[in-house]
Amino acid sequence: MEHLAELDKKHFIHPTSSIQQQQANGPKVIMEKGEGIYLTDINGSEYMDAMSSLWNVNIGHGQDELAEAAAEQMKQLAFSSAFSTFSHEPAIRLAEKIASIAPDGLNAVFFTSGGSESNDSAIKLTRHYWRIQDQPERRKIIGLKRAYHGVAAASTSATGIKEFQEMAGEMMTGFVHTETPYEKTADEAIHDLRQTIETEGPDTVAAVMAEPIQGAGGVLIPPDDYLRQVRALCDEYGILFIADEVITGFGRTGKMFGVENFSITPDLMTFAKGVTSGYLPLGGVIVSDHVHEMLKEKSKGTLFHGFTYSGHPTAAAVGLKNIEIIERDGLVENAREMGGQMLRAFEKVQSELDIVGDVRAKGLLGAVELVQDPATNKRFSPDQQAAPKVIDQLHERGMICRPVSFEGTDIICFAPPLIINREQVHTMVEKLHDAVFAVQKELQVKG
Ligand code: PMP
């Protein structure tokens, strides 16, 4: 451990992490093994992975079938190009499979290696869609505050969390952000969206982009009719709607895709994470028939957009097997059922403790907010570190969760693997109760 920690400090620049903290303390945990909903570190400590790692290990860890699918494909054809006139069976089959499970009218897939690339691709495809119709001025993307769409050029620009935008200074041009129905009501958020479209000029807007449920923003579940109203506004102004399903896709919310909870169909839908349950990097954009038709008719010559790994055969083979397992093992239904149980357990914790504000879940995507006073929703001050303290307490109890603590919120997020069972949900929320109780005592004593 000592040796690995030193090498880590010397050579490994971690994603989304504090470099100074790493240099001071080294890595807190070095993981070694995963099995089901559990991870084990190199010291033999076991953790319940209540976040499916990065919201992605949907079918759980240690699934031999995916390892076998990868090995088989690697031996047969590990990699081959999908550029230009080349193709191969795994990508064709996966595209067909995704078309068959996506909402009606979404039937063609562009592949990438992850969520950021998918969102950049969706944004560029959207701008291309307008350019080939001689409307190049339609290039603005309207995103939501607190949205997270990734860290590539366009996806960072679309992200509505200022820390990500400030990291490298100037962003791409043509991105604006509108209110969410979190701090505001759905009506106010819709009003703000209409104002934004009008102020920017409807003829300059290419697309509105949103996660059906904002994940990294704090698992913000919109009121039932919010996305329908967004869709209606897009239709009114002839603007495309891009749904970012990177977290919500592949069963997470108790439906195969998050938009199904809100009965809307986007024009483009991006995915990643759960498509392979994280066993290999893969993502993509599913486009609707009318967008595809337009591309077929008017995108002349080469489409100058493609990644070396667009349609990677081995990743595609793993994706196919992963979706087969999700369907075969009824994991979407399990997410719905266990999600319901998780939410009821959250509500019990809310009724028993003094510092639990809103609790929410859609399928196995949930959150618990910590507040100083649930009656008035008065928040803790950032220096009280309420959410990070609960995360530390959970860690001591052998559980990995994620805090969202920007802009004054203290939110504990939950996204356990879709294979979780009743007893495990019970244990997970029991640990949450004990961790929050410990922090409540500490904060109340400090008063
Ligand atoms: N969109 C959403 C909604 C996400 O949650 C994420 C990652 N957490 C991304 C995009 C970016 O995906 P990636 O990290 O695979 O680039």
Is residue 410 pLDDT above 90, yes or no? yes
Q: What is the pTM of this model?
A: 0.98
Residues 246 and 208 in one domain: yes
C-alpha distance from residue 7 to each of 14, 18, 43 (Å) = 13, 17, 17
Residue 361 within any structural domain of the chain: yes
**Ligand 1 atom 13: the closest Cα is on which residue?**
115
Last residue of a domain, one of 328, 352, 387: 328
Residue 377 has which token pair? Answer: 């929703």
C-alpha distance from residue 332 to each of 251, 278, 322, 328 (Å) = 5, 17, 13, 10
Number of structural domains the chain divides into:
2
Residues 44 and 72 in one domain: no
> How confident is the model over 162-204, as pLDDT tens digits?
999 999 998 999 999 999 999 999 999 999 999 999 999 999 9
Distance CA 402, CA 387 (A): 9
The per-residue pLDDT for 406 is 87
Distance CA 129, CA 156 (A): 21
The per-residue pLDDT for 447 is 60
Lining ligand 1 with CB less than 6 A are: 54, 114-116, 119, 148-150, 211, 215-216, 244, 246-247, 272
Is residue 58 pLDDT above 80, yes or no? yes
Whether residue 126 contacts residue 132, with contact meaning beta carbons closer than 8 Å, is answered with: no
Residues 194 and 240 in one domain: yes
399 backbone dihedrals φ, ψ, rounded to 5°: -145, 140
Residue carrying structure tokens 């701008």: 127
Residue 3 within any structural domain of the chain: no
Residues 295 and 372 in one domain: no
Residues 149 and 284 in one domain: yes
DSSP string, 305-341: ---TTTT-HHHHHHHHHHHHHHHHTTHHHHHHHHHHH
> How confident is the model over 347-377, as pLDDT tens digits?
999 999 999 999 999 999 999 999 999 999 9
Whether residue 420 contacts residue 37, with contact meaning beta carbons closer than 8 Å, is answered with: yes
Distance 242 CA to ligand 1 centre (A): 14
CATH classification of the domain holding 373:
3.90.1150.10
Residues 52 and 92 in one domain: no
Residue 106 within any structural domain of the chain: yes
Last residue of a domain, one of 296, 328, 360: 328
Residues 304 and 408 in one domain: no
C-alpha distance from residue 270 to each of 60, 113, 246, 347, 425 (Å) = 22, 12, 6, 32, 29
Q: Domain span at residue 266?
A: 64-328
**Ligand 1 atom 1: the closest Cα is on which residue?**
149
